[in-house]
Amino acid sequence: MKVLVVGGTGMIGTHFATHLRDLGDEVTLAARSEPAAGSVAAQFPVIRGDYTRDDFAETDLAPFEGVVFAAGNDPRHLPKGADAAEFWESTQVESVPRFAALAKKAGVRRFVQVGSYYHQVLPELVESNPYVRGRALADERARQLADTDFAACTLNPPSILGVIPGAPLKRIARFVQWADGEMPDVPNFAPAGGTNYMSVRSLSEAAGGALHRGEPGKAYLIGDANWSFREYFQAFFDAAGSSVRLEERDEAHPMLPDPFIIQGRGNTIAYRTDPEETALLGYRQDDAKRAVEEMVAKVRESA
């Protein structure tokens, strides 16, 4: 299948591209800028464009049988001082369904949107959180386009664990430095609460399954490990070889600021995925711990 991966130079998109290539698909990336020379993404053809600015034309998408949309913005992308409601309305509610409609008009047969799990697990947040509302409406409105000729579906994953091979590892390196005792100003505890985590390898497998076998109009809640934030932080300490045992406190933490805990500090998101859906999509479980170990190993290798 000729496939376009939108957001293909990011961590998730790069893994999608390599996995789909391994499945035998012919992959092209869509991105705002050219990939860095020598990067994994540079191995693929690239179409330049920004979906939020309506840069793409019908002729750009017409050559492709399938699209995997992995470019959705998240709270890390919210510009400082921006109005959150306006930003999510523009980048999610308006832009994602508009791009899906363009793909349908161009004759794309299969469309997979990679969203986020919050609105499926905690639908009450749709009314109170602009980001969750944006993800929910982008999901719903893109899937409303599905019909017998346009198999549009959505994957709604949790927090994703992984790295781009050869890319800078600054964020992950901070966790390793902390575990190695090189950040004495960061206290050895984790905030209260927790969530579900999933490796980028598992997510890539799910994306491949959705692209080739996903049910039109379906939203799939996917995931893997239900961890407290203490267990999440501890996984990095253990992988780094630290003997420190972290405690849990209901306090703000610099390594996971409160604004990034969408469900609120002290609250836990935990769920089990549907076994039949997991089998249909064909992604592995119990891969989160290995992913953390790989992330730490990559930091060690790059030091």
Tell me the per-residue pLDDT of 182-208, one tens digit each, with 9 for 90 and over. 999 999 999 999 999 999 999 999 999
Gap between the Cα atoms of 15 and 118, Å rounded: 23
| Fold classification of 170-195+226-271+283-302 (topology level) | UDP-galactose 4-epimerase; domain 1 (3.90.25)
Q: For position 36, what pLDDT does the model report?
A: 86
| Fold classification of 2-161+198-223 (topology level) | Rossmann fold (3.40.50)
Q: Write out the residue limits of the CATH 3.40.50.720 domain(s) in the chain.
A: 2-161+198-223
Indicate yes or no: pTM above 0.85. yes
pLDDT at 74 over 80: no
Per DSSP, what are the bridge partners of residue 151? 110
Gap between the Cα atoms of 18 and 189, Å rounded: 37
Q: For position 110, what pLDDT does the model report?
A: 98
Query: 76: pLDDT confidence band, cut at 50, 70 and 90?
Result: confident
Q: For position 166, what pLDDT does the model report?
A: 66
Residue 108's φ and ψ, nearest 5 degrees, are -60, 135
Q: Write out the residue limits of the CATH 3.90.25 domain(s) in the chain.
A: 170-195+226-271+283-302
Hey, what are 215's tokens? 């049910």
Neighbour-count burial of 243, counting CB atoms closer than 10 A to its CB (0-12 exposed, 13-18 middle, 19+ buried)? exposed
